[in-house]
Structure 1
Amino acid sequence: MTTVTQRTIVPVPTEEVGDRRRLRGATFDERFDVLGAAAAGLATASLLFGWITPLTGVIGWIVVSYLAFLGYYVVLTALTGDRQTIADRVVTVLLISAGAVLFVALVFIVLYSLLGGTNAFWHLNFFTTDMRLAGPLDPLTDGGILHAIVGSLIQIGIALAITVPLGIATAVFLNEVGGRFARFVRTIVDAMTALPSIVAGLFIYAAVIQLITHQRSGFAAAIAITVMMLPIVIRAADVVLRLVPGNLREASYALGASRWRTVWGVVLPTSRSGLVTAVILGTARGIGETSPVLLTSGITAELSFNPFSGPMISLPLQVFDFVKSPEPNMVARGFGTAAVLLLLVLVLFGLARVFGGRPAGQLSPRQQRRSQLVSQRDALRIERKQKAETS
């Protein structure tokens, strides 16, 4: 019995395909539309606020200018483009505007803190002494924030010693083991990500200070910071480990490696830069926490190196203690401390960008040179071995 298979012939469309859409770059007409819409938006807002209606306020003028700019830009784009082109250009403008607003806000915060703390920055004692012998009425030549810097470093060091192994191990468990319990753990981690910092401080205050230590200390503050850092590190590491290609694991299993040997020798080295980024992001989150530290560390004006005995202040808590004073010198010290903390956080985010910007498997120039040297030594060794066998 013969079966006849019928083929369905799909008709080829005869209509012409339009030009390819430009997703990057801008033509002269596109730049002209943007500049023309911006000029028209500024003119419209100026007329409304200066001539037609008695409106006042810089914020309102900026909002009206931007809304008018979007309207004019849609009209100008509609003259030469279709609906899809209008949507693409408007969304592009909105995204660029959002990025510009965030950048301007960041620059404003940094400059405001730096300018406010300029008077304190000019004195070396601000970084080399504590506030034990300085009072609210003393000049800026007396006292400093050395005790706050040391306290922040000790607290964040203890928090990292707990967070890094626990967070990465939990992320490995979520990805490599799985199961019902892993889903439960992932749910708990997601809930902890949205946990208010004051709740974490209250929990450590009730569970550690009230029941165990009976005093505020740097160690209790470090545990509270750990509670805030841990979900950030777990979630970021979890996402990074998911990006490891599955064929690398399969190749390792095919060569006879066990699951944990594969994790240690393949998965973790491949995602090393992403894991470093996760740790640095968690550190930047923890080093700026104020509410849990306020409840757990205590306030002191003396330098302390023992996190298990007595209060130990940190940079965020020192800012809070300085700026609540009505004295101008204390407020200036508070701005200077805030600038130091802000610069420290920016450095951490910069390190995250440097270590996390390189894709998995891509070697740095130093690693490439080291790999070339190893290859050259192996080639010389093989060549010598071949000469010895032939002779």
Structure 2
Amino acid sequence: MMGLSLAAALFGILWLVAILATLVIKGFSGLSLAVFTENTPPPGSAGGLLNAIVGSLIMTAIGVVAGTPIGILAGTYMAEYGRHGRLAQVVRFINDILLSAPSIVIGLFVYELIVIRMGHFSGVAGAVALAVLVIPVVVRTTEDMLNLVPNQLREAASALGLPRAVVIQRIAYRAARAGMITGVLLAIARVSGETAPLLFTALNNQFWSTDLNAPMASLPVVIFQFALSPYSDWQALAWTGALLITFAVLTLSITARVLSARSLR
């Protein structure tokens, strides 16, 4: 059984290495300064991914800024106030559903909620879709990290006469800070590569635009569209964009694991 387990692990790692090697070889071949300084080009022209990179950064930043406080507050309530209450159980159940729900469902929800009522695609709708994806990740990690804080710390602070809100802010949050930051980084890593929600909300924009009330370019959508095109120059940019996203997510994941290990210690 140990031999079969080792063989299965090696078989999976082999394909992972093959995928990453192909991505690195084809991605690095198209990497240049123009990728970061020029907008997405029409077929047959030189260009880069500047507008797509900036659009992704804008929508991801807004989504994280909007979703993180909601996730932290919900996780704090479930861990500190209503740990065994019925409302906390309902919220926890809904949060688990959101964690496992396909992102395209979130895109359709925001499409019905915002895009149809606005009458057009927009960066705001894309940011809202990403915020909805951020919330359940932050809720889960916040609750888990606060539950790991020993109750003796809370009891000692309460014995000194500190109100419960102050105990949570200055004791529980400080003890769980590394783990909570890890949750935010994991949420960023998840939403940074999402394509389906943005197809239904922000759509795409071939030109430079920072107008949140208009369609906005994003790196995952550009990769999706360029990879399906018959043009070799677009396909090369798609490989380069995939390489950028992969290394960004890898960096965030490694940082999150380092912070998580430090928190456990």
Give me the TM-score of the superposition, normalised by structure 2.
Answer: 0.93
Asked if 1:240 is matched to 2:145, the reply is: yes
- Unaligned stretches of 5+ residues in structure 1: 1-69, 71-89, 363-391
* Corresponding residue to 1:351 among 255, 259, 265: 255
* Corresponding residue to 1:184 among 90, 101, 115: 90
- Unaligned stretches of 5+ residues in structure 2: none
> What root-mean-square deviation, in Å, do the aligned CA atoms of Structure 1 and Structure 2 show?
1.7
Highest RCO, 1 vs 2 (Cα 8 Å, sep ≥ 6) = 2
Relative to structure 1, the CA distance from residue 239 to residue 101 in structure 2 (aligned partners, 3 Å threshold; closer, same or farther) is farther
Asked if 1:214 is matched to 2:123, the reply is: no
Relative to structure 1, the CA distance from residue 96 to residue 260 in structure 2 (aligned partners, 3 Å threshold; closer, same or farther) is farther
Alignment of 1:84-123 (within 5 A): 90=2, 100-121=10-31, 123=32
Superposed CA deviations along residues 148-204 of structure 1, whole A, max 9, x for unmatched, are 100110011001111111111110000111121111111111111121111110110
Distance 1:250 1:101 in 2: 51
Alignment of 1:121-160 (within 5 A): 121=31, 123-131=32-40, 134-138=41-45, 142-160=46-64
Residue of structure 2 equivalent to 1:327: 231
The structural deviation recorded for 1:126 is 1.5
> Contact between 2:95 and 2:139, CA under 8 Å: does it hold in 1?
yes
Alignment size in residue pairs: 263
Superposed CA deviations along residues 86-137 of structure 1, whole A, max 9, x for unmatched, are xxxx3xx56655654554444333221121223311x311211102xx3212
Asked if 1:285 is matched to 2:196, the reply is: no
Distance 2:94 2:260 in 1: 26
Alignment of 1:304-323 (within 5 A): 304-307=209-212, 309-323=213-227
* Corresponding residue to 1:205 among 111, 126, 129: 111
What letter corresponds to residue 189 of structure 1 in structure 2?
N
User: What SS does structure 2 have at the residue aligned with 1:358?
Assistant: helix
Distance 1:97 1:269 in 2: 44
What letter corresponds to residue 112 of structure 1 in structure 2?
T
Relative to structure 1, the CA distance from residue 219 to residue 165 in structure 2 (aligned partners, 3 Å threshold; closer, same or farther) is same
Asked if 1:265 is matched to 2:265, the reply is: no
Relative to structure 1, the CA distance from residue 103 to residue 269 in structure 2 (aligned partners, 3 Å threshold; closer, same or farther) is farther
User: What SS does structure 2 have at the residue aligned with 1:117?
Assistant: helix
> Contact between 1:110 and 1:342, CA under 8 Å: does it hold in 2?
no
Distance 1:105 1:345 in 2: 19
* Corresponding residue to 1:295 among 179, 200, 210: 200
The structural deviation recorded for 1:359 is 2.7
Give me the TM-score of the superposition, normalised by structure 1.
Answer: 0.64
User: What SS does structure 1 have at the residue aligned with 2:30?
Assistant: helix
Relative to structure 1, the CA distance from residue 251 to residue 233 in structure 2 (aligned partners, 3 Å threshold; closer, same or farther) is same
Relative to structure 1, the CA distance from residue 101 to residue 245 in structure 2 (aligned partners, 3 Å threshold; closer, same or farther) is farther
What letter corresponds to residue 207 of structure 1 in structure 2?
L
Distance 1:269 1:320 in 2: 41
Structure (1 or 2) with the larger CA radius of gyration: 1
User: What SS does structure 2 have at the residue aligned with 1:357?
Assistant: helix
Residue of structure 2 equivalent to 1:25: none
Alignment of 1:66-81 (within 5 A): 70=1
Q: Name the one with the larger helix percent.
A: 2
User: What SS does structure 1 have at the residue aligned with 2:262?
Assistant: coil
